[in-house]
């Protein structure tokens, strides 16, 4: 998990989960922890439309599609929570 500050004030989130850990909810836990640690940051992620696993992960972590793009933003008021 890493974040990169962007010129527009958002922070781009990137995550890579090893094949061995996929399906363990580790990715969701990491995104939730990030949101709890830096709740003031506007977190965004670029997700390719063919990457179903990432789309599902970010949706479960409270990210929503931004307009008609491949960018997703953590919903306002969302806090990292287990589910």
pLDDT tens digit sequence for 29-56: 999 999 999 999 999 999 999 999 999 9
Q: How far apart are CA 26 and CA 41, in angstroms?
A: 21
Q: What is the pTM of this model?
A: 0.84
15 pLDDT higher than 50:
yes
Contact 61, 35 (CB under 8 A): yes
Residue 1 and residue 14 in contact, taking contact as beta carbons nearer than 8 Å? yes
Give the count of beta carbons closer than 10 Å to the beta carbon of residue 21. Answer: 11
């Amino acid at each position: 998990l890493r974040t990169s500050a962007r010129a527009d004030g958002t922070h781009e989130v990137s995550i890579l989960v090893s094949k061995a850990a996929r399906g363990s909810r580790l990715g969701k836990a990491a995104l939730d922890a990030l949101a709890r640690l830096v709740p003031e940051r506007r977190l965004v992620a670029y997700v390719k439309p063919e990457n179903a696993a990432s789309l599902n992960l970010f949706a479960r972590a409270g990210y929503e599609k931004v307009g008609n793009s491949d960018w997703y933003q953590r919903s306002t008021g969302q806090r990292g929570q287990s589910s």
